[in-house]
Structure 1
Amino acid sequence: MKLGTPYGSRTRGPAGARRVLPPATVGGVGVRTVCTSVLVAVLTAVVAVTIRSGGSEADPRRLLYWYAAAWVLFAGAVWAVRKVPVRAAVVLVLAGSAALSLAALSGPPRTSSDMYRYAWDGRVQAAGISPYAYPPAAPELAGLRDRWLFPPGQVCIPPDLHPLGGGFCTLMNRPGVNTIYPPVAEGWFLAVHALSPDGARHKPTQISGALLAVGTSAALLLVLRRRGDPRRAALWAWCPAVSFAAVNDAHVDTLGVLLTVLALGTSVLPRRGALLGAAIAVKLLPAVVLPGALARKGPRDAARVLVPAVLVIALAYLPYILTSGFGVLGYLPGYLQEEGYESGSVRRFALLRLFLPDGVAAPLAVVLIALTALYVMRRGDPERPWSGALLVTGTALLLTSPSYYWYALLVIALVALDGRWEWLAVPLAGTVLYIGNAMGAHGSWLQSWSYGTAAVTVLASAALRAYGERQRSRNAVAARRTAAPVVGDVPATSTPEPTARR
């Protein structure tokens, strides 16, 4: 193995001129590429160990250490890939995304049981029944209960098993309430069920999550090859939150993320609107990217985005409304109340509640999010719609302070598009809060601390970036002034007299 000279080192040629040597190599491969590959490989191993034996929602203490190790390795890998040649980086991004997804598939879900509801909703729809009609515990659906999803037992201990009654447990959380998921998500659950072999249990749902995660990596690469640096796609492809939440726990939020990336990456406004409408009909959260998609758009262009979005949402809901009426709202109203006001639970609006009474925090959060959206629509960059979308989405999550870190999957994808890495503090805060809550750290102090740290990180980074831009602007102006000739100092040139002909 022969090592080259250090990357970017300079030497002098025979004439004394500076000559830049090629990057250092190991066996013909750049040292930076090798280092990045090693970091991604170690990260993949850490993810695999975490999935196999690194703790779970029922045993969260070990999760804390393994998650921390994964995030540190992720930070090192995305730092190293910045100097890797673009072509090699694209291969690394896709290969790393696939490897991490395979590692995340190596065990059952560790921190969430939501995917079991996905499998159940697909089973119910395949039987010709609306998923919004009955909760899983309803006797009308007893004939559809598979033993793997409804194991017998007199003692059902959450979070692994939940009591159903009649001598049975279930892997699903909240078996006594109707489903909460919008219609495009329900269509996805039905498609996964239809394509799954008999007896496959939860694995097809995880595989579908892996396909969505890798597909989002590919979509980011396509967008960034045209309008940015493809290496930034690693911010999504290698992020531990993606491996754990999108693949191992298979949260359907990833489908909404993929549709949002495709929407913001296209300049055809009706197509953008249709894709955003589909994303909103997966999970409601992608609605917060609309201000970025509408940045500096006149009424006509705004209508070209909004009308297709509304039509897609309406068409998606229509068949379910015909069978279930307003039951399509499912458990959504109860879920919002539970998350915000249930006694002893992690509360929302934790940052604002540090300084304001509880009754003022929620209305003020709505006002601040609305003002941020208005600012983006008036002053945002129409050529970079993801920039404004990141500002609104990140602000909304900081102010509402959700306790589920997978809500921030959308933020991770927007960070990859925009490059403002400091917003990754939002999913990291959600991860700390989720694990802390599983460990029994109930109350608002951990929520305030985690999201407060994220807010300080974002604000400090924004201030430093603004200061750096001002300094660069001043230096550029000074350089132009120095280079410009001063008219009074230029000596007058005399025209030589013509030589007399002889």
Structure 2
Amino acid sequence: MTVPDTNFDDILVIIPVLNEEETIGTVIHSLQNLGLRQIRVVDNGSCDRTAHTAHTAGAEVVSEPIPGYGRACWQGMQNIPEHIGWILFCDGDGSDDLSVLPQFFAERQDYDLILGNRRARPDSRSAMTPVQNWGNGLATTLIRWGWGHPFQDLGPLRLIRRARLEQLNMQDRGFGWTVEMQAKAAEQKLRTYEIPQGYRPRQGGRSKISGTIKGSVQAGSIILSTLAFLYGQHLQMLFAKSALRNHPVWQWVSAVLLIAGCAMIVPYGDFTQPGMVPPFWRGVSVMGLGFVVSWILPQVSKVWFWMVAIASRCILLPMHPGNDIWRYLWEGRLQNLGISPFEFAPTAPELVPLRTEWWSMINNADISAIYPPITQLGFRGLAAIATSTLLFKIAFVAADLGTCWLLQRRFGSLKTLIYAWNPLIIYSFAGGAHYDSWFILPLVWAWLCLDTQPRRATRTIAGLALLGVSIATKWISLPIIAFVTWTFVKQRAWKWASISVLLPVLPMLISALPFCSLTSCPLIPTSSSFVTKGRSAEFLPIGSLLSAPEWHNAILLIPLAIALLFLLWRSTQVGDYTESYLGTLLLLSPVVHGWYFTWLVPFAVASGNWGTRLVSLSAFVYFALPHRESLGISVWQLTTSERVWLWTPFVLGWLWSWYIRRSQTLFNPSPGTSQ
């Protein structure tokens, strides 16, 4: 039987505080009543009387003016007396039930780290906010996956042996302090024990973390990014011991990096604010690393596939969207007021009384609607429910996950990671809120229907109808009709050739009826300079090469038409043609946005195209444009070096994939072909 230890002179209590004047005195007195006399309060920049109250209550007060929970804890660990063998960390807001501490002290002989588990008791768990419960559950789950240790909570109440704490070599100076301690404790095999503890809402002051959305997002981002960093170090150690190419650890690494990267970019979505893009790039780099790791996975279960696909998108839903969404909201709202967005630009004098508080954020406000009719009807339907960015994002993510489902059913979970765990896909729809997922879903569905062998009448009709929906959602699907028709013409299937021309046009015609009359159908503002002369991140710098830069974009239809004729001649499958056509379109397009490359990603699931894989990472160079604009530089064109960084991986990867496919054809000809 263990004899309770009643000598607490070797325990130093460290309490980091920030504006806890109302509660710190009570916390100190509670600790003193338990026999603790060496109490050090670290004032982390309070602007109230917290320090004075703590000193009056009998605590030692040290100052750490630079903000950061971990920094305050670290400052509290400096100049510790030699006789101190244990350190107790707790909060100063009065939320922890300190009466559990005698149980902590009773376990000191058997353990190195003793933690309070708020989630073990129903009353304590219910006192925590949903954000706290979800975040702690996610973080401890990731620690269990990564290090194999079943922690239940990341609570602030913790007692640790001084020698072991120094052994951990704590590095985090922010809110990742607690998770770093537990992850390193698991890695270094410290003897740990969790004790159920009471917990209540803070007894005074204002929470810096769970009390605000911004604080919760930042804390979650820090915790996940800390785990990602620590896991990277953990992997280095594992690599030093053995080759892990086929180890399931890679599945964990990829998932953790993707989730952590998503959490890191959430606070940095408003690119109109200076300084947002560099930290956005850092988070995207973490996502990109997770994506690259997924390329070497030998297998992935459906559970992992969907868990990461859904979680990564859900994390980005609170992110500030791209500025396209304000036009979506505006045009949906106009339709519900009985006004066609094709008739009036947002700046039209007739619409001045209808302007909203977010009207100024609409991009290219002097241009009337350019989105096809089915898209407009989708905006109208959503706006009829609410002009909410979150609602629109959910609609875009739903279509995106629908594409995941179609591809996963056809090609399996492992191949579909190119789409489902793709950082460009995840950001573009869940974070940036671009509507392109609406056109990708019917396009992919049409492709899978039309390329299925043997072809059946019902499936072919469904594929043609879905192709029509895709066209009426985004015009660029239109040339695919030519290929499908040509395949029937080559087979002399004249009836199907006729159907393949007429059926895809019907969705566009039907959906255009609300916007057109017998005399007018202004679906594209062809007179706009944005349409005729706009340029941004184009691959071919024609505007810079020509002596008269005000050239008309229509000139590029000539090389595009030639390329399409070549593709008609060489392609044999709808998927192959569509991938090649979209790649060519992007290479020739004068206006290219980063999320345009998402059009190609579904087809890379089948082809494994390296150009698409690599541009899913390099496309984020595009965000140099909003970064410069936020700094007051209004030139909306990438520099030559930026275009090189964006396009070179795409072109080289595409050429490499073409070379590999050509080599496979030459050395492994299909049955029946001559050599």
Compute the TM-score of the two structures, normalised by the length of structure 2: 0.54
Matched pairs, number: 407
Superposition pairs for residues 194-273 of structure 1, below 5 Å? Answer: 194-196=384-386, 201-222=388-409, 224=410, 228-267=411-450, 268-273=459-464
TM-aligned CA deviation for residue 230 of structure 1: 4.2
Structure 1, residues 255-279: CA drift from partner, whole Å, max 9, x if none?
0001101111113333222211211
Maintained 8 Å contact 2:472/2:511: yes
Q: Percent identity?
A: 20
Q: What is the match of residue 84 of structure 1?
A: 299
Q: What is the match of residue 260 of structure 2?
A: 45
Deviates more, 1:52-61 or 1:207-216: 52-61
Matched, 1:65 2:261: no
Separation (CA, whole Å) in 1 of partners of 2:250 and 2:588: 38
2:524 pairs with 323, 326, 329, which one?
A: 329
TM-aligned CA deviation for residue 52 of structure 1: 1.8
1:103 pairs with 315, 319, 343, which one?
A: 315
Separation (CA, whole Å) in 1 of partners of 2:648 and 2:545: 12
Read off the aligned partner of 1:95 and give its amino acid letter: M
1:285 pairs with 473, 476, 482, which one?
A: 476
Separation (CA, whole Å) in 2 of partners of 1:338 and 1:54: 28
Read off the aligned partner of 1:201 and give its amino acid letter: S
Q: What is the match of residue 481 of structure 1?
A: none
Separation (CA, whole Å) in 2 of partners of 1:413 and 1:473: 26
Structure 1, residues 418-472: CA drift from partner, whole Å, max 9, x if none?
3323333445444313435633684551464132442122113322442355345
Separation (CA, whole Å) in 1 of partners of 2:269 and 2:502: 47
Q: Considering only aligned residues, what root-mean-square deviation do their CA atoms show, in Å?
A: 3.4
TM-aligned CA deviation for residue 183 of structure 1: 0.6
Maintained 8 Å contact 1:55/1:62: no
After superposition, the Cα gap between the structure-2 partners of 1:402 and 1:79, relative to the gap in structure 1 and judged at 3 Å, is farther
Maintained 8 Å contact 1:278/1:313: yes
Deviates more, 1:313-322 or 1:450-459: 450-459
Separation (CA, whole Å) in 2 of partners of 1:248 and 1:407: 15
TM-aligned CA deviation for residue 400 of structure 1: 2.2
Where structure 1 has 5 or more consecutive residues not aligned to the other structure, the ranges are: 2-29, 151-169, 341-345, 478-502
1:433 pairs with 596, 618, 622, which one?
A: 622
Read off the aligned partner of 1:96 and give its amino acid letter: V
Compute the TM-score of the two structures, normalised by the length of structure 1: 0.72
Matched, 1:118 2:308: no
Separation (CA, whole Å) in 1 of partners of 2:518 and 2:266: 40
After superposition, the Cα gap between the structure-2 partners of 1:369 and 1:137, relative to the gap in structure 1 and judged at 3 Å, is closer
TM-aligned CA deviation for residue 184 of structure 1: 0.7
3-state SS in 2 of match to 1:212: helix
Maintained 8 Å contact 1:277/1:308: yes
Q: What is the match of residue 460 of structure 1?
A: 656
Matched, 1:445 2:640: yes
Q: What is the match of residue 494 of structure 1?
A: none
Computing the radius of gyration from Cα coordinates, the structure with the larger value is 2
Structure 1, residues 172-194: CA drift from partner, whole Å, max 9, x if none?
12223322211111011011112
Q: What is the match of residue 400 of structure 1?
A: 589
Maintained 8 Å contact 1:119/1:189: yes
After superposition, the Cα gap between the structure-2 partners of 1:326 and 1:54, relative to the gap in structure 1 and judged at 3 Å, is closer
Structure 1, residues 30-61: CA drift from partner, whole Å, max 9, x if none?
97555314412321121121122477354322
Q: Which structure has the higher relative contact order (CA within 8 Å, separation 6+)?
A: 1
Maintained 8 Å contact 2:333/2:380: yes
Maintained 8 Å contact 2:610/2:657: no
Q: What is the match of residue 276 of structure 1?
A: 467
After superposition, the Cα gap between the structure-2 partners of 1:253 and 1:45, relative to the gap in structure 1 and judged at 3 Å, is same
2:372 pairs with 182, 200, 211, which one?
A: 182
Where structure 2 has 5 or more consecutive residues not aligned to the other structure, the ranges are: 1-143, 145-244, 451-458
2:292 pairs with 75, 78, 95, which one?
A: 75
Maintained 8 Å contact 2:419/2:425: yes
Separation (CA, whole Å) in 2 of partners of 1:145 and 1:355: 41
Maintained 8 Å contact 1:56/1:63: no
Q: What is the match of residue 132 of structure 1?
A: 342
3-state SS in 2 of match to 1:68: helix
Maintained 8 Å contact 1:55/1:63: no
TM-aligned CA deviation for residue 291 of structure 1: 5.1
Q: What is the match of residue 314 of structure 1?
A: 509
After superposition, the Cα gap between the structure-2 partners of 1:65 and 1:54, relative to the gap in structure 1 and judged at 3 Å, is farther
Superposition pairs for residues 335-414 of structure 1, below 5 Å? Answer: 335-340=530-535, 346=536, 348=538, 350=540, 365-382=556-573, 385-400=574-589, 402-414=591-603
Read off the aligned partner of 1:417 and give its amino acid letter: A
TM-aligned CA deviation for residue 63 of structure 1: 2.5
Q: What is the match of residue 156 of structure 1?
A: none
TM-aligned CA deviation for residue 311 of structure 1: 2.0
After superposition, the Cα gap between the structure-2 partners of 1:291 and 1:94, relative to the gap in structure 1 and judged at 3 Å, is farther
